[in-house]
Amino acid sequence: MISGYLTTMGISRDVVSDMDKTPFASMMLYDFKRRKQLKQPAGSGAEVQHGLERPLADHLDLALQHQPQSDNVQVRNFVGNIDATRRAFLETLRRYGVERIEPTHQLFDPTRHEAIGQTPSADVPADHVALVTQAGYAEGDRILRPARVIVSSGPATA
């Protein structure tokens, strides 16, 4: 399956035959095809607006991930305000029908997740999401942006 598709794209048969042997490569190819099909020009104003709002949520998430550890009351209040803004913003998205996709420890689903890597993990079963690097968003059954994830390959072998 993969070899026929990739050779039509000009990738050598040697590389393709190695890729056919790994399930992760199959997931990556499926994900590539899905993303290629999803690339469509924005139609409605709501779609354009959602496209502008998602980076704001990402920036608020990053601000909270990199918050300084401090006993200073002003710093704690500032971080608390960022968190409150993030929660209010996500609630506003929910009111408009946009749900956040955060699939940590769920089975990898290439229709909702974009695999950007694979890592061994003793805590997360194989083919489950070990880490979400960027949350995804869905509007009903329609995926606005898949969640970017790192998939577990199961426990490391010695």
Domain check: are 59 and 112 in the same one? no
Pull the structure tokens for residue 118: 């694979």
Count up the domains in the chain and report the number.
3
> In tens digits, what is the pLDDT along the chain, a chain of 158 residues?
445 555 555 555 555 555 555 666 666 666 666 666 565 444 444 544 455 456 888 888 888 888 888 889 998 899 999 999 999 999 988 998 999 999 999 999 999 999 999 999 999 999 999 999 999 999 988 999 999 999 999 888 76
24 phi/psi in degrees, rounded to 5: -65, -40
Domain check: are 82 and 108 in the same one? no
Boundaries of domain holding 16: 1-39
The predicted pLDDT at position 8 comes to 55
Domain check: are 56 and 91 in the same one? yes
Q: Distance between CA 66 and CA 49 in Å, rounded?
A: 27
Q: Distance between CA 147 and CA 114 in Å, rounded?
A: 6
